[in-house]
């Protein structure tokens, strides 16, 4: 089930929201847990057992840590084996089988064709953070399995994040305020996220997917530029829109979920980009991988190695393909280049830093989107030398009509520049939140989004496959 589906918008969410207002406070967590399990089982019922295993496996591990302190390290090791093993079996089995077969140049092992459970990369990381932070002594063991179950399975951020740490939501599981003001703000945030996903991301996806379905020989320089820039905008509005909807849904039920995006395309360095993009994932790897390996405390050489390892793992987390590993290493190497002196150059000329960062990120997204290094290289050739690739069967206008071009331009403006301009020209614009004008605008976005969903079945979601 996706947030931008008619069933979710008109059946699931209204029913759960109404029930949450009539069920007594003591029954709220049980209601949300049952709703979350139903939400997860909607697409693939058989994997509900996997979800329950993740919940009770990690709950039991922490209880054993609490009961037998002498074996805390052993239990920590077992929790890593359990969670990473579960993620590895379902996400990476066929990848490694394929790698072995490629090395042997023969089908030594038959692929298992294991279906990837939706959201497994997200809920396993949340479960691991629950164990890690307890091991560090940041809170006592949770005795109530209902709280742990709801934390791991909470449907707003279950399938695509943000990745929530238990320490950030622990108190809210037992004591949270569901107010009219927070509910209104949650609905508003959800609608803005829905608009970003449906009106911008989906529109661009339709054009971009058609281009990337072509062989490179048919793609001219201008078409390659449009595809690369279009996907850059698509993935941002797709993922940040979903995060906005998750945060909004959390507020409707009394939860404050931390932000996951902060206008990443206004960054003037790759380092800054990763502080603004998928913030919860970057925070997770910083706290549980980078810092435990020594962070930047053991000299420059060790820091560089740690960064490369973290970004390699970050890339591989996104998908079981070498392209994702290379994409992660690509960003890691760019950070090393900045760290070794280039950052001083781009800091002196901010416009140069912005151009370099967005161009570098866009090139990385080509590899991320195609999942093929040879295809990516062909596209990059067309990006940097478009004058050599002027002959092709298609032009940009064959993929992008007037409406798509309008959305493309709007997407560029809304990734930071327009907000900054409004803030500068109208410093009191923030006070319009909750006003009649804001209400009318939200109703308009919702109506147009629903109309678009009704008229168009093209509703892809990028991060479902991660």
Q: Residue 193: pLDDT band by 50, 70, 90 thresholds?
A: very high
Instruction: Over range 154-181, report the average pLDDT.
Output: 90
Same domain, yes or no, for 397 and 435?
yes
What b-and-e string marks burial along 309-326, b requiring 16 or more CB atoms within 10 Å of the CB? bbbbebbbbbbbbbbbbb
Q: Residue 461: pLDDT band by 50, 70, 90 thresholds?
A: low
**pLDDT at 466 (0 to 100):** 59
Instruction: Over range 327-342, report the average pLDDT.
Output: 93
- Residue by residue, DSSP assigns 240-260 as HHHHHHHHHHHHHTT--PPP-
Q: Residue 69: pLDDT band by 50, 70, 90 thresholds?
A: confident
**CA angle in degrees (0–180, nearest 5) for 154-158-164:** 80
Same domain, yes or no, for 406 and 264?
yes
Same domain, yes or no, for 448 and 403?
yes
- Tens digits of per-residue pLDDT, 243-281? 999 999 999 999 999 999 999 999 999 999 999 999 999
* Contact by Cβ (8 Å): 193, 242: yes
Same domain, yes or no, for 169 and 233?
no
Same domain, yes or no, for 226 and 344?
yes
pLDDT of 131 over the 90 cut: yes
Residue 255 lies in a domain: yes
Same domain, yes or no, for 87 and 103?
yes
Residue 41 lies in a domain: yes
**pLDDT at 424 (0 to 100):** 77
Domain's final residue, options 176, 205, 229: 176
Residue 268 lies in a domain: yes
Which of 76, 198, 383 has its CA nearest to residue 375? 383
pLDDT of 465 over the 60 cut: no
Q: Residue 16: pLDDT band by 50, 70, 90 thresholds?
A: very high
- Tens digits of per-residue pLDDT, 341-393? 888 888 888 889 999 999 999 999 999 998 888 999 999 999 999 888 888 77
Catalytic-residue membership of 331: no
SS3 416: coil
State how many domains the chain has. Answer: 2
Q: CA–CA separation, 277 vs 281, rounded Å?
A: 9
Domain around 391: 182-465
Residue 410 lies in a domain: yes
Listed in order, strand segments (DSSP E) in 235-323 are none
Same domain, yes or no, for 148 and 274?
no
**pLDDT at 110 (0 to 100):** 87
Q: Residue 458: pLDDT band by 50, 70, 90 thresholds?
A: low
pLDDT of 207 over the 70 cut: yes
Q: What percent of the chain has pLDDT over 90?
A: 66
Q: Tell me 208's DSSP state.
A: H
Q: Residue 228: pLDDT band by 50, 70, 90 thresholds?
A: very high
Residue 131 Cα distances to 119, 136, 138, angstroms = 19, 9, 10
278, 318, 331, 388: the catalytic one is 318
Residue 96 exposure: Cα atoms within 13 Å on the Cβ side: 7
State the chain's mean pLDDT as an integer.
90
Domain's final residue, options 176, 193, 218: 176
Domain's final residue, options 176, 199, 229: 176
Q: Tell me 42's DSSP state.
A: H
Q: CA–CA separation, 203 vs 193, rounded Å?
A: 15
Which of 39, 29, 295 has its CA nearest to residue 149? 29
* Contact by Cβ (8 Å): 293, 309: yes
Residue 321 lies in a domain: yes
Neighbouring residues of 290: CB distance < 8 A, sequence distance ≥ 6: 306, 307, 310
Residue 257 Cα distances to 55, 144, 199, 330, angstroms = 20, 21, 24, 30
Residue 213 lies in a domain: yes
pLDDT of 460 over the 80 cut: no
Same domain, yes or no, for 142 and 186?
no
Q: CA–CA separation, 464 vs 466, rounded Å?
A: 5
- Residue by residue, DSSP assigns 360-398 as HHHHHHHHHHH--HHHHHHHHHHHH-GGG----S--GGG
- Tens digits of per-residue pLDDT, 385-419? 988 888 877 888 899 999 999 999 999 999 888 87
Q: CA–CA separation, 304 vs 297, rounded Å?
A: 11
Phi, psi of 325 (to 5 degrees): -60, -45
Same domain, yes or no, for 108 and 41?
yes
Residue 1 lies in a domain: no
Residue 365 Cα distances to 15, 205, 315, 401, 452, angstroms = 39, 14, 12, 23, 27
Return the sign of the alpha-carbon dihedral for residues 215, 220, 221, 223: negative
Residue 111 lies in a domain: yes
Same domain, yes or no, for 230 and 341?
yes
Same domain, yes or no, for 215 and 330?
yes
* Contact by Cβ (8 Å): 262, 276: yes
Same domain, yes or no, for 231 and 85?
no
């Amino acid at each position: 089930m996706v947030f931008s589906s008619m069933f979710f918008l008109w059946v699931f969410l209204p029913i759960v929201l109404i029930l949450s207002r009539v069920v007594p406070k003591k029954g709220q967590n049980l209601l949300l847990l049952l709703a979350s399990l139903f939400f997860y089982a909607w697409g693939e019922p058989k994997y509900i057992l996997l979800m329950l295993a993740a919940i009770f496996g990690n709950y039991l591990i922490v209880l054993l840590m609490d009961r037998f302190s002498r074996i805390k390290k052993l239990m920590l090791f077992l929790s890593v084996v359990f969670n990473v093993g579960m993620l590895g079996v379902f996400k990476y089995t066929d990848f490694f089988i394929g790698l072995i077969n490629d090395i042997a140049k023969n089908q030594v092992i038959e692929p298992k064709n294991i279906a990837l459970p939706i959201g497994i990369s997200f809920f396993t990381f949340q479960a691991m953070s629950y164990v890690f932070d307890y091991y560090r002594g940041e809170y006592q063991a949770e005795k109530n399995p209902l709280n742990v179950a709801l934390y791991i399975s909470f449907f707003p951020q279950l399938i695509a994040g943000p990745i929530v740490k238990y320490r950030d939501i622990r108190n809210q599981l037992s004591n949270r305020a569901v107010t009219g003001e927070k509910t209104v703000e949650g609905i508003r945030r959800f609608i803005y996220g829905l608009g970003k996903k449906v009106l911008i991301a989906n529109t661009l996806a339709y054009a971009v997917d058609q281009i990337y379905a072509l062989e490179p020989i048919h793609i001219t320089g201008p078409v390659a530029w449009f595809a690369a820039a279009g996907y850059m905008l698509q993935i941002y509005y797709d993922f940040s829109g979903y995060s906005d909807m998750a945060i909004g849904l959390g507020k409707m039920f009394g939860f404050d979920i931390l932000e996951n995006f902060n206008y990443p395309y206004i960054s003037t360095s790759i380092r800054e980009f990763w502080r603004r993009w998928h913030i919860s994932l970057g925070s997770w790897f910083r706290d549980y991988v980078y810092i435990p390996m020594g962070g930047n405390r053991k000299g420059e050489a060790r820091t560089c190695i740690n960064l490369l390892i973290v970004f390699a793992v970050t890339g591989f987390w996104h998908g079981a393909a070498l392209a994702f590993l290379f994409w992660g290493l690509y960003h890691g190497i760019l950070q090393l280049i900045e760290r070794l002196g280039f950052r001083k150059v781009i800091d002196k000329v901010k416009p140069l830093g912005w151009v370099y960062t967005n161009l570098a990120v866009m090139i990385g997204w080509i590899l991320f989107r195609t999942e093929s290094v040879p295809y990516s290289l062909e596209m990059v050739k067309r990006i940097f030398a478009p004058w050599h690739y002027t002959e092709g069967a298609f032009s940009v206008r064959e993929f992008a009509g007037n409406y798509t071009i309008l959305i493309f331009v709007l997407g560029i403006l809304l990734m930071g520049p327009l907000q900054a301009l409004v803030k500068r020209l109208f410093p009191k614009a923030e006070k319009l939140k909750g006003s009649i004008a804001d209400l009318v605008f939200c109703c308009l976005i919702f109506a147009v989004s629903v109309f678009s969903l009704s008229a168009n079945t093209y509703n892809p979601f990028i991060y479902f496959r991660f």
